[in-house]
Amino acid sequence: MTGRVAIVTGAARGIGAAIAGRLAAAGHSVAVIDRREADTATTVESLHRSGARAIGIGADVADAGEVAAAVQRVEAELGAPVILVNNAGILRDNLIFRMTDDDWDAVMAVHLRGTFLMSRAVQSHQVAARWGRIVNLSSTSALGNRGQANYAAAKAGIQGFTKTLAIELGRYNVTVNAIAPGFIATDMLRETAARIGMEFDDYMAAAAREIPVGRTGTPDDIAAAAAFFVSEEASFVSGQVLYVAGGPKA
């Protein structure tokens, strides 16, 4: 399965960059989308060094106009996108009595609205091709997590969105699945550690002690799951949420 065009949002670093690398290694052309185009340079250069076709695009996934323009540019420069990984995300953690309207709205906009807008823009190309893959990034926080009412609600919403799209798009040979990462060593968790006043290494070590496999995850762990969902072998897997968390989750 080569020659397909993929979009990965939030791919300037961390999980998104790892997923972009795995898709490129599988022979796909990759559009790396992040808030600022300049931030995509490192990921794009790495993909180019591996021999992949890749471009970087700056876009706010919560802005319908910017999403439409980004997808149009992907089509013009790489071809019609039929693989979409919705990974873009932000944190605005706080307890409910301290959480502001902006904290709530910003997280909902990037995670939930962004996933909707990107999926809506790309599905037309998938339907036309009668083939497609959408992989949405949820989180174990969808099950509830102190200080993350906004994030948990958005990630739970993504799971419902995923299952609904799987029903709507399945007839067009488009699968839609979600990955729910647990503790993954990324800059986003560095922000969480800082918020609660812990050193990052101490925070991750404490988390590892509570994980059955005895370690925290890496971006490559999530990229491996995404690679499976995108593969031809996963064509009968749709509407699923895979918890990549080192142990069982509800």
Q: At what angle do helices 14-25 and 219-230 cross, to 10 degrees?
A: 40
Q: Catalytic site residue 203? A: no
3-state secondary structure of 199: coil
Considering Cα of 168, then 170, then 174, then 179, what sign does the dihedral take?
positive
Burial 214-236 (b: 16+ CB within 10 A, else e): ebbbebebbbebbbbbbeeebee
β-strands 54-58, 174-181: how paired? Answer: unpaired
Instruction: Point out the catalytic residue in the list 151, 172, 203, 243.
Output: 151
Task: Report which of 93, 174, 88 is spatially closest to residue 136, judged by C-alpha positions.
Answer: 88
Q: Which two tokens mark 216?
A: 């925290």
Which residues are part of the catalytic machinery? 151
